Structure 1
Amino acid sequence: MSFICETLVGASSTIKFFLSEALMGQHFYEVELEGGEPQPGDLFLFKLRSPKAQWCGAHVGVYCGHGEIIHFEGRNPSGGLQKLLAVCEGVICKQGHRALQHSRQLWRVLRRRSGVDPLVLECRIREAMDADPPPYHPTRNNCVHFALRLLGMDSMSMDPTRD
């Protein structure tokens, strides 16, 4: 029963983020990058596509500065629908934001209303890159939870140590 409750709570925190931010702009506002550069802490939301190329969600990364985005994803070596909601290996990586935009379709860029301390963000990014990545779970510990932890917004995300 605990697994079901944690999965529902984790899923609701992800849904809460998309409803409160992508639709209502509670903690973030959308920025246009036409002719401008992103700022450290900007959230890049990329469209996720189903096998039939229908939009089915978003992948979130955090702009680090210096042209890089850090993001967290799961690697499921066995694949398959039965593993869709299972814990799998978590992978944290940095990629050039332009290269990432070529491999994924950018949906929108969000900037935190209260701003981001670049030195604190840089420290959290270094810690994330140096640590063993936590396990990935699509509802309990995903790219949204990871991005919000980097921005110090843990109350909107779930504790990554709980399984």
Structure 2
Amino acid sequence: MSFKCQSLISTQTLVGASSTIQFFFSEALMGQNFQEVELENYEPQPGDLFLFKLQTPKAQWCGAHVGVYCGQGEIIHFEGRTSNQNGVQTFLGYCEGVVCKQGHRALQRSRQLWRVLRRRGGVDPRVLESRVREAMDNDPPPYHPTSSNCVHFALNLLGMDSMSMDRNLTSD
């Protein structure tokens, strides 16, 4: 692999990791583009982000998995799958990207819900539905934990550039 190619991969990885960190930092601490919602007495709205705790084998919290509520009880999310049983390939590089659509109650039973975020100003449900259909119909991109992950996928569905996070979905 040439130096130029290695440099490009490293830059893409750093930019992707930076955008993921930026999302968690800006939303957890400042609520810049989203507000936290309590669902105890309410149903989620299309476009709500469900953040599930990711835990290490020793049950220590190490991040979050993000899915987008589609409506009709379903969440769409993006994850990586590898045939390598020890997960090293998933952590260190690209692996097969898989787009899944599941019932939100079933997903909440299998993963620990951390919080639910709603985009300030809402989303256009028709635009979201079109993007969800496109994501379900097309081959998913390869998954990478820093440069092509569930956060990037979710923000893309909401029409937000994960690098700047300032585009308005309804302007598309």
Same fold (TM over 0.5): yes
2:40 is paired with a residue whose SS is coil
- What is the alpha-carbon root mean square deviation over aligned residues? 1.4
Q: Following TM superposition, where does structure 1 have runs of at least 4 consecutive aligned residues deviating by more than 4 angstroms? A: none
Question: Aligned residue for 1:99?
Answer: 106
What runs of 5+ residues in structure 1 fail to find an aligned partner? 158-163
Select the residue among 124, 130, 137 that pairs with 1:117.
Answer: 124
* SS of residue matched to 2:92: coil
TM-score, normalisation: structure 1: 0.93
Aligned equivalents of 1:82, 1:124: Cα separation in 2:
31
- Give the TM-score normalised by structure 2: 0.88
**Which of 157, 167, 171 matches 1:150?**
157
| 1:32 to 2:38 alignment | yes
Mapping of 1:8-23 within 5 angstroms? 8-23=14-29
Bigger-Rg structure (1/2) = 2
For residue 80 of structure 2, give the secondary structure of its aligned residue in structure 1: strand
Structure 1 partner of 2:49: 43
TM-aligned CA deviation for residue 82 of structure 1: 4.1
Q: Structure 2 vs 1, CA of residues 65 and 52 (structure 1 numbering), >3 Å: closer, same or farther?
A: same
Partners of 1:2 and 1:16 in 2: CA distance: 21
Number of residue-to-residue matches in the alignment: 158
Paired residues of 1:69 and 1:97 also in contact (CA < 8 A) = yes
Q: Pick which of 20-29 and 53-62 moved more.
A: 20-29
Deviation at 1:80, TM superposition (A): 3.4
SS at match of 1:53: coil
Structure 1 window deviating more from structure 2 (77-86 vs 110-119): it is: 77-86
Question: What is the alpha-carbon distance in structure 2 between the residues aligned to residue 98 and residue 147 of structure 1?
Answer: 19
Give 3-state SS (helix, strand or coil) of 1:156's partner: coil
Is the Cα contact below 8 Å between 2:33 and 2:120 reproduced in 1? yes
Contact 1:14 1:139 in 2 (8 A): yes
1:98 is matched by which residue type in structure 2?
R
Judged with a 3 Å threshold, the aligned counterparts in structure 2 of structure 1 residues 42 and 27 are, in CA distance, closer, same or farther, namely: same
Aligned counterpart, 1:3: 9
- Measure, in 2, the Cα distance between the counterparts of 1:24 and 1:81: 33
Deviation string, structure 1 residues 100-146 (Cα, Å, up to 9, x no partner): 00000000000000210000000000000000111000000000000
Contact 1:148 1:156 in 2 (8 A): no
Contact preservation (8 Å) 2:35, 2:119: yes
2:71 is aligned to 65
